[in-house]
A and B are shown apart, each in its own frame.
Chain A
Amino acid sequence: KAGVTQTPRYLIKTRGQQVTLSCSPISGHRSVSWYQQTPGQGLQFLFEYFSETQRNKGNFPGRFSGRQFSNSRSEMNVSTLELGDSALYLCASSPTELETQYFGPGTRLLVL
């Protein structure tokens, strides 16, 4: 089975812009979770989607949003980018929201 794929792998944006990241889960997995990883804060949970519905949300501002499509693919959007949004954004998939999560390679976002 192919693993979790994320596109793009690298992205450079400027402050105030918006960005959309994409995640394709492992085939058959219906739950997709997003995490932000920074040197200072480590790995932090953003949100989780299952069957196109957001089931869990972390403590991030409303500028961070996401959605999931009927084929379980998910997108994450960050609007009005700030310098502090520079991070590795990781997507993880699992068959259901309560099962073991498998991570993709991440999207490295740099905000200038």
Chain B
Amino acid sequence: GQQLNQSPQSMFIQEGEDVSMNCTSSSIFNTWLWYKQDPGEGPVLLIALYKAGELTSNGRLTAQFGITRKDSFLNISASIPSDVGIYFCAGQDSWGKLQFGAGTQVVVTP
């Protein structure tokens, strides 16, 4: 099962609002990754974080690698309808293996 705690489980937001989600772990990771998955498709990489404390942006997305290396958050600013989907955090250990959170379902209403 999951070893990462991802929250919230789901979010219902209005178009234009900002979204925040986070992931915590009892383990230290070398890399934190955020993926988005649409129904019937594989996860698509959004942001990769490689250093503790690192803050990285990709358009309207901003993610941070926690200083303890045990947590990360993802922010989406000014949400639009195509932001709908399931967002997964993943921690990559020193062997390269990924552990995933349970996902955050984002629903955007006009």
Which A residues lie at the B interface, using CB under 8 A?
Answer: 4, 6, 31, 33, 35, 41-45, 48, 55-56, 58, 90, 92, 94, 96-106, 108
Contacts and interface: CB of A to CB of B under 8 A. Distances in A.
A44 B97 CA distance: 10
B2 interface: yes
20 contacts: A31-B96, A33-B96, A33-B98, A35-B98, A42-B2, A43-B90, A45-B98, A45-B99, A48-B96, A55-B96, A92-B42, A96-B96, A97-B96, A98-B96, A100-B33, A100-B45, A102-B45, A105-B40, A106-B41, A108-B40
Given A48-B96, A56-B96, A97-B95, A42 B41 contact: no
The residue among B31, B88, B95, B96 with the most chain A CB atoms within 10 A of its own CB is: B96
Contacts of B42: 4, 6, 90, 92, 103-106
Interface in B34-65: 35, 40-45, 48
Contacts of A44: 1, 100
| Size band of the interface chain B makes with A | 20 to 34
A35 B100 CA distance: 10
B102 A103 contact: no
Contacts of A33: 96-98
A33 to B, nearest CB: 7
Interface string B50-85: 000000000000000000000000000000000000
B31 A103 contact: no
